[in-house]
Homo-oligomer: A and B are copies of this chain.
């Protein structure tokens, strides 16, 4: 699994406050903790507390600050092409960048794919188009196909494409998680080699009780269905343990009596 740590996000107070106070240490500690927890990459999101006009500058500061302590890929999480470009430019100075994210409207796709090509960046493609979030597995797969075609056209390799079926809170629509699992199975069949598939897990349990249990059970089922990347809280040890065990059971990593430890020490 490709684990993208979700915690450098202005929506969390520790990062929101760090952004306001330009407190590098808080950000860098969060980066390091997530990597120790098992993150292969770090999501960088300035949140909504920063005024729109200042978000590009805030993104640059957050990326530069994180880059001082790690060469891991950084996932630049913002809907604006301009802000994403600023973040990607900063990120690639010390490692790989991942664009998080584009939606599936033709023009937007073309512009974001061009950016991905320019910086050899990964790119997360959401199952959203002019009609909003696709509600069915077929609708999501159609947008996934369109995203792969746009990548090919722009010269972005399949290895850099991460299809995201989009998870909605289970307490809003209880049919949606099952549809996401079905979509993961369908995404696997869209190309050979199969595209990467990513989910932003925590949204699933927004407002629900038993959040950690819900996240853990769904991630485990999603890994079983073919998921190979996830934006998650890598500080959640039980979540990571379940994911590591699921991968081992799918023969993606080797069993040993210390398989949990072995995974974290890769």
- Which residues does A use to contact B, with CB under 8 Å? 170-171, 174-175, 177-178, 181, 204, 208-210, 213-214, 216-218, 220-225, 241-242, 245-246, 248-251, 254-255, 257-260
Q: Are A210 and B249 in contact (CB under 8 A)?
A: no
CB <8 Å contact, B251 and A178: yes
Q: Which residues of B contact A241 (CB under 8 A)?
A: 210, 213
User: Of A171, A216, A245, A257, which is in contact with the most chain B CB atoms at under 10 Å from its CB?
Assistant: A245
Q: Can you show 25 pairs from A to B with CB atoms below 8 A apart?
A: A170-B248, A170-B255, A174-B251, A174-B255, A178-B249, A178-B250, A204-B249, A208-B255, A208-B257, A209-B258, A210-B245, A213-B241, A214-B249, A217-B220, A217-B249, A218-B245, A218-B246, A218-B249, A220-B221, A220-B246, A221-B221, A221-B246, A221-B249, A222-B224, A225-B225
Residues of B within 8 A of A216 (CB): 242, 245
Contact assessment for B178 and A214 in the assembled complex, using a CB-CB cutoff below 8 Å: no
CB distance from A250 to the nearest CB of B (A): 5
Instruction: Give the distance in Å from the alpha carbon of A248 to the alpha carbon of B174 in the complex.
Output: 8
* Number of identical monomers bound together in the oligomeric complex: 2
Asked if residues A249 and B209 are in contact (CB atoms below 8 Å), the reply is no
Q: A257 → chain B, closest Cβ, in Å?
A: 4
> Nearest chain-B residue to A251 (Cβ)?
B174
List, in ascending order, chain B residues with CB within 8 A of A259's CB: 209-210
A99 to chain B, nearest CB (A): 29
Known: A170-B255, A213-B241, A218-B246. 5 other contacts (CB 8 A): A177-B249, A177-B251, A208-B255, A208-B257, A224-B225
Q: How far is the CB of A107 from chain B (nearest CB, A)?
A: 35
For A222, the chain B residues whose CB sits under 8 A away are: 224
In the complex the two chains form, is B255's CB within 8 Å of A242's CB? no
CA distance A204 to B209 in the complex (A): 31
- A175 partner residues in chain B, CB cutoff 8 A: 251
Nearest Cβ in chain B — how far from A86, in angstroms? Answer: 37
Q: Which residues on the B side are within 8 Å of A245 (C-beta)?
A: 210, 213-214, 216-218
Decide: A170 near B249, CB < 8 A? Known: A220-B217, A221-B223, A242-B220: yes
- Asked whether, in the complex, the Cβ of A209 is within 8 Å of the Cβ of B257, the reply is yes
